Structure 1
Amino acid sequence: MKDFPDPRGARPAARIHAPPAAFGIDGLIAIAVGVTIVACLYFARAVLIPITLAILLSFLVAPLANALGRLKLGHVASVLAAVVISVSVIGMLGAVIATQLTDLAAGMPRYQATIERKMDAAHSLTIGKLNRLAGAAGQALQRATIEPPQAQQPRDASSRATVHAPAAVPVEVREPVPTPFELARRVLSPVISPLETAFIVFVVMVVILLQRDDLRDRAIRLFGSRDLHRTTTVMDEAARRLSRYFVSQLGLKAGVGVVIGTGLFFIGVPSPILWGILAALLRLVPYVGIWISATLATALAAAVSPGWTMAIWSLALFVTIELVVGQVVEPLLYGRSTGLSPFSVVVAAIFWSWIWGPIGLILSTPLTLCLLVLGRHVRRLEFLDVLLGDQPALTPIENFYQRALAGDPDEAIEQAEALLRERSLSAYYDEVAIKGLQLAANDVARGSVTAVQLARIEATTNDLVDGLDSYEDSMPAPQATEDDWSAAGPMPPAAAAAGMPHALRTTPTDATNATDEERGSDTNAAASRVLCIPGRGPLDPLATTILLQLLGKHGFAARALPHEAASRASIESLDADDVGTICILYLQIDGIPSHLRYLVRRIRARLPDVSIVVGLWAAQDTEKWSADLQSAMGADCYASSLQEVLAACRRIEVTQQDPGLAIVNG
């Protein structure tokens, strides 16, 4: 059977639903810790912003330092050379931006006439037209109404006295002439703070690159010394994939900037290098950054050209590039996704911009990605993966159970059809439907499922079985798997090839090619007739319905009787003389219940020649429990899945046709 890839590692396929605990001291502590962390992020932003920038930049510079280290430059020399190269590139970009801004500012007076003419045209087409309409409406209203004569108000002595009041004496306040030191302070004060932050960032980045092995060892000792191997593997893999992700993002944004700058150059927009760099930088702002740069470049194109052709071509360039990058390049580069849900990206942008301002808005996606990596690898932070990741919040098993509780068979069938592209029908029933029914059986045993919900579960499951009746129980054609970065975390292990062992495999053609005439006798014909009896649980008949469908697809003549048909009062009238195999199915069973043992004994005494297969999905999935069950009950075969039940029925059929073969316990 093909496993479901689970990006959360050891997350169980089906949770055992314990009674809900009250909101106690643990919840209060978690809330207090969360509030404290947010407060620290806000009030300590002057310290945390440079450190965070340094850590993220270290992910970008680390591959360059590693490449220089492979040239035998030494660790310290490689780090310093990588930092010098990075600073040089940033300085060169700053010089280019300053030059382009100077050229753009020098050319703005030439565009003033074009801008005024287009503004007048836009004004006349919008506000001017509205003013003309409003004036015409006012004149029509004035003609339709009678204006009363306005009485002249006499001037009194006080008003005349006010006119001849003396004027106030003006007072002028002059500031002293600033000294050269004050002028230098006014000019340099806006520049000193960014320079200080940049200096701190590069110093911390150099320290991180020089001491990264020591910092890694200290982090391992602090967070994961009890499981040294796993912690080391997780940290190395997460750091490697995060570095690869950031470098790929840098290359992609640089490529977008080059393409946009080249396109604007051929269109004729002034300062195309500036707009290419601006597009690459603003693309760090999720969703809206690229459109901000597109709006500015399009506005400049409209100001430069007397017509609107240049503006239209500029906007079309941005739209085309963004669609190609977002829909083609990024899926090819990162696989299906980077791991972040669109909703979490928007919320993270709002949160980080509130905490750290514009720097937080730019860093929101990388920071959220780092939090998601922690959620993928640290069990106590798994809630981050659920809140921020794009993986389904519910497993297919939980999703099936939730749809069954809601009474929505259409979505359950849609999910099943999607899963059947990669697995057989019996594998889907074993991996999803049966386990989902087990969750329901656990809730029924706890008394948390009402009668209405139980009826919905039964109706939804029956509709699901009917909806999947057209599918054959065979493996679909293999499809090429697609790479998925999974939020820059370790890739989930590749699922093993689905299917049962060769000795247990059956296909519909194997079963249907043999007819009763080919078997040659009534005894052989009875071997292909199966009677299914559900257990005492309220959902055991649903498992029997599923098994009946699978048996029919494998060529068996199967029918079902209720559990009461094998009771002490009804066992003598059990109509099963023409069957060769009886299947008993229990979804939920604990230990070795006496009622199951006596049920097998009654059937054995009533039909001594019939083979009995017991299907159990018990919590004690151990070899010792299976051996104890075999010795206590005396059935012919025991199975823990529908596929094993089918294989057991096939072996019994073959054995009854050839008595020389022995039945091997499943």
Structure 2
Amino acid sequence: MTGLFVLALFYTMYFLRPVLLPVVLGLMLSYLFRPVVRAMAKMGVNPHVGAAILLVSLVALIGYGVSYLATPAAGWLEKAPYGLQQMQRKLLPLKKPMEKMAAASGEIEKLTAPEASGVASPVVEVRQNRMSDVLYGRTPEFFISTVLLLILLYFLLAYDAVFLGKVIKLMPTLKDKKRAVSIAHEIAAHVSKYLLTITLINIGLGIAVGSVVGFMGLSNPIMWGTMVALLNFVPYLGALTGIICMTIGAVLSFDNLGYAMAFPAVYLFIATIEGNFITPYVMGRSLTLNPVIILLSLTFWGWMWGIAGIILAVPILAAFKIFCAHIEEMEPIAEFLS
């Protein structure tokens, strides 16, 4: 029965992802921005007004950022066909040894291949989803999910105290009510601290990498810094993707292949310092996560919800660990995830 329940739960989570994705993302963003709304409330701003101001500012900032970065991003895409020809020419010295290896591999396959049986081999066609399909599905679903996210985020921020009060009323005894308030406040504080710290670290990493590559001569350093900051929300895979993108961009921008390789090397160096020294020092042991569990979480949520699942995998895991750490019966799970 337990196995059937787990399978049914996974199927439901996959089937309802257009609804669950904005809900989970809204919860995470509410933890991130809740301190801002509370700070505004201490200054005399009504939470409803504060939440509205925050959301309008957030949408305006994202809109400005997209419009500002759209032009350089489109420029890179326009010169991509010509750039691929340049890359082939620059990588030609490395191509010849690879061709020899491929030819040798082909000869080995001929020697070890079974005799032809006259039966045609089946053709396997791999269909790749478009990015929009992986993230949310069709465009209407993306639009609906975005609107739902904004509405949900507003109510979570504006009615924070109301929701907590409703939960407290469900507790049967005064002791349970006090325990629920304590746990809720501690979990909210730690999750907010985690998300805010990670966000600031990623912004710092983006500024550092963007500044260095801009000083070295790579065009559009703000675009590269933004890319680095956003990709760093996905541990390991994000940095790997960023290094590949920067390698391509540097090879397209500079004739000297050796100098072009210095850009991904600098990115890798700064990201290594951040991942192995800065983040563990700032976060502390209580908020660090097991790397193996992180990879498993990325795999699971990526399979479940696509790119959006990969982005949310670590925040979900961190929130679950913090929740377990504040429930006495679940403390061993929190220790295992550390």
TM-score grouping bracket, smaller chain normalisation = 0.7 to 0.9
- The residue number in structure 2 matching 1:50 is 22
- The residue number in structure 1 matching 2:243 is 294
Whole-angstrom CA distance in 2 between matches of 1:70 and 1:284: 31
Amino acid at match of 2:325: R
Amino acid at match of 2:225: G
Contact 2:26 2:152 in 1 (8 A): yes
Cα drift, residue 33 of structure 1: 4.8
Whole-angstrom CA distance in 2 between matches of 1:224 and 1:307: 72
Mean Cα deviation higher: 320-329 or 32-41: 32-41
Whole-angstrom CA distance in 2 between matches of 1:288 and 1:84: 32
Contact 1:224 1:231 in 2 (8 A): no
Contact 1:261 1:275 in 2 (8 A): yes
Cα drift, residue 344 of structure 1: 1.3
- The residue number in structure 2 matching 1:169 is none
Q: Indicate how the Cα distance of structure 1 residues 300 and 218 shifts in structure 2: closer, same or farther if over 3 A, else same.
A: same
Of 13, 29, 32, 1:41 maps to 13
Contact 1:220 1:232 in 2 (8 A): yes
Amino acid at match of 2:196: V
Cα drift, residue 107 of structure 1: 4.0
- SS state at 1:269 partner: coil
Contact 2:325 2:331 in 1 (8 A): yes
Cα drift, residue 105 of structure 1: 2.8
1:197 aligns with 2:169: no
Stretches of structure 1 lacking an aligned partner (at least 5 in a row): 1-27, 138-188, 391-666
Contact 1:269 1:301 in 2 (8 A): yes
- SS state at 2:289 partner: coil
1:67 aligns with 2:67: no
1:246-297 CA-to-partner distances (Å, cap 9, x unmatched) read 1111111111111111112122223322221111111122212112111110
RMSD between aligned alpha carbons? 2.7
Amino acid at match of 1:281: L
Amino acid at match of 2:37: A
- SS state at 2:287 partner: coil
Cα drift, residue 88 of structure 1: 1.7
Contact 2:18 2:141 in 1 (8 A): no
- The residue number in structure 2 matching 1:572 is none
Whole-angstrom CA distance in 1 between matches of 2:102 and 2:290: 45
Q: Indicate how the Cα distance of structure 1 residues 232 and 95 shifts in structure 2: closer, same or farther if over 3 A, else same.
A: same
Cα drift, residue 124 of structure 1: 2.7
Cα drift, residue 380 of structure 1: 5.3
Cα drift, residue 306 of structure 1: 1.5
Q: Indicate how the Cα distance of structure 1 residues 227 and 262 shifts in structure 2: closer, same or farther if over 3 A, else same.
A: same
1:320 aligns with 2:292: no
Of 257, 264, 283, 2:213 maps to 264
- The residue number in structure 2 matching 1:351 is 300
- The residue number in structure 2 matching 1:217 is 165
Whole-angstrom CA distance in 2 between matches of 1:294 and 1:257: 13
Whole-angstrom CA distance in 2 between matches of 1:272 and 1:314: 12
Contact 1:269 1:310 in 2 (8 A): no
Whole-angstrom CA distance in 2 between matches of 1:275 and 1:224: 54
Cα drift, residue 190 of structure 1: 5.6
Q: Indicate how the Cα distance of structure 1 residues 224 and 278 shifts in structure 2: closer, same or farther if over 3 A, else same.
A: farther
Whole-angstrom CA distance in 2 between matches of 1:237 and 1:35: 32
Whole-angstrom CA distance in 2 between matches of 1:31 and 1:216: 33
Matches within 5 A, 1:614-653: none
Q: Indicate how the Cα distance of structure 1 residues 124 and 290 shifts in structure 2: closer, same or farther if over 3 A, else same.
A: same
Amino acid at match of 1:39: Y
Amino acid at match of 1:197: S
Q: Indicate how the Cα distance of structure 1 residues 224 and 62 shifts in structure 2: closer, same or farther if over 3 A, else same.
A: farther
Cα drift, residue 327 of structure 1: 2.4
Greater relative contact order (Cα 8 A, min sep 6): structure 1 or 2? 2
Cα drift, residue 232 of structure 1: 0.7
Of 82, 97, 108, 2:69 maps to 97
Contact 1:257 1:276 in 2 (8 A): yes
Matches within 5 A, 1:239-250: 239-250=188-199
Contact 2:231 2:241 in 1 (8 A): yes
Contact 1:371 1:384 in 2 (8 A): no
Q: Indicate how the Cα distance of structure 1 residues 118 and 210 shifts in structure 2: closer, same or farther if over 3 A, else same.
A: same
- The residue number in structure 2 matching 1:77 is 49
Whole-angstrom CA distance in 2 between matches of 1:93 and 1:261: 15
The structure whose residues are more often helix, as a share, is 2
Amino acid at match of 2:232: R
Cα drift, residue 308 of structure 1: 1.7
Matches within 5 A, 1:567-582: none
1:12-33 CA-to-partner distances (Å, cap 9, x unmatched) read xxxxxxxxxxxxxxxx5x5555
Contact 1:65 1:79 in 2 (8 A): yes
Matches within 5 A, 1:181-580: 191-222=139-170, 225=173, 227-336=176-285, 338-379=287-328, 381-382=330-331, 384-385=333-334, 388-390=336-338
Whole-angstrom CA distance in 1 between matches of 2:142 and 2:218: 31
Whole-angstrom CA distance in 1 between matches of 2:6 and 2:39: 40
Of 52, 73, 93, 1:121 maps to 93
Cα drift, residue 58 of structure 1: 0.9
Q: Indicate how the Cα distance of structure 1 residues 218 and 35 shifts in structure 2: closer, same or farther if over 3 A, else same.
A: farther
Whole-angstrom CA distance in 2 between matches of 1:283 and 1:97: 18
Cα drift, residue 112 of structure 1: 5.3
Q: Indicate how the Cα distance of structure 1 residues 335 and 130 shifts in structure 2: closer, same or farther if over 3 A, else same.
A: closer
- The residue number in structure 1 matching 2:120 is none
Cα drift, residue 93 of structure 1: 2.2
Whole-angstrom CA distance in 2 between matches of 1:222 and 1:380: 21
Whole-angstrom CA distance in 2 between matches of 1:202 and 1:92: 17
Whole-angstrom CA distance in 2 between matches of 1:309 and 1:67: 50
Bigger radius of gyration: 1
- SS state at 1:270 partner: coil
Contact 1:58 1:209 in 2 (8 A): yes
Whole-angstrom CA distance in 1 between matches of 2:170 and 2:332: 21
Mean Cα deviation higher: 209-218 or 307-316: 307-316
- The residue number in structure 2 matching 1:616 is none
- The residue number in structure 2 matching 1:494 is none
Contact 1:114 1:304 in 2 (8 A): no
Contact 1:268 1:310 in 2 (8 A): no
Q: Indicate how the Cα distance of structure 1 residues 306 and 278 shifts in structure 2: closer, same or farther if over 3 A, else same.
A: same
Amino acid at match of 1:220: I
Amino acid at match of 1:121: P
Amino acid at match of 1:309: G
- SS state at 1:126 partner: helix
